Amino acid sequence: MTKVIGFHYTLKNDDGEVLDSSVGGDPTLYLTGNGQILPALGDAIETLAVGDKKSVSLSAKDGYGEVNPALKQNVKLAQFPVGTEVKPGLQSQTNQPGSPTFRVINVLGEEVFIDGNHPLAGQAVHYDIEITESREATAEELDHGHAHGPGGHHH
């Protein structure tokens, strides 16, 4: 049975620094089995019931992956679209289908250092989870491939 699981989370790094949190906002809705969240996180929460709380620690491998040096590159400033303000932190994609999103790390003259790794690659991450909802997925959710919030789908 495919389920929809709603949960609040607080994501922390090894130093205990909060990196992201849904607490105080809407819970995250997850359609099980669709790869919408980290597989190891999904495995850890799929058997929990509404009201359950759990801390889940994931290694870099089970979290956002190890750093792939091949995704770090130097490119020429001229490769960016004219008028783009190229500066550290800019996220972009190439015009190649299926290309990963990359971040600009640094700009030195005409050289731009980019990184296609997830910003949390190479780091262990820690989630504090509280389950807010657990129900069978609707036919519409299964057809659309994602969970719908209150009032139906919001595409």
The structure tokens listed for 93 are 């994609």
| pTM listed for this prediction | 0.81
* 10 and 60 within one domain: yes
What is the model's pLDDT at position 155?
A: 47
Q: Residues 119-127: what's their mean pLDDT?
A: 96
* 46 and 12 within one domain: yes
Q: Is residue 154 part of a domain?
A: no
Beta-ladder partners of 73: 114
Q: Is residue 45 part of a domain?
A: yes
| DSSP three-state, residue 39 | helix
Give the chain's domain count. Answer: 2
pLDDT-derived band at 117 (thresholds 50, 70, 90) equals: very high
Beta-ladder partners of 118: none
Q: Is residue 18 part of a domain?
A: yes
* 131 and 60 within one domain: yes
Strands 125-136 and 3-12: antiparallel
What are the residues whose beta carbons fall under 8 Å from the beta carbon of 76, sequence distance 6 or more? 110, 111, 112
Domain containing residue 101: 69-115
pLDDT at 107 over 80: yes
User: What gap in Å lies between CA 45 and CA 38, rounded to an integer?
Assistant: 11
Between 59 and 36, whose confidence is greater?
A: 59
pLDDT-derived band at 144 (thresholds 50, 70, 90) equals: confident
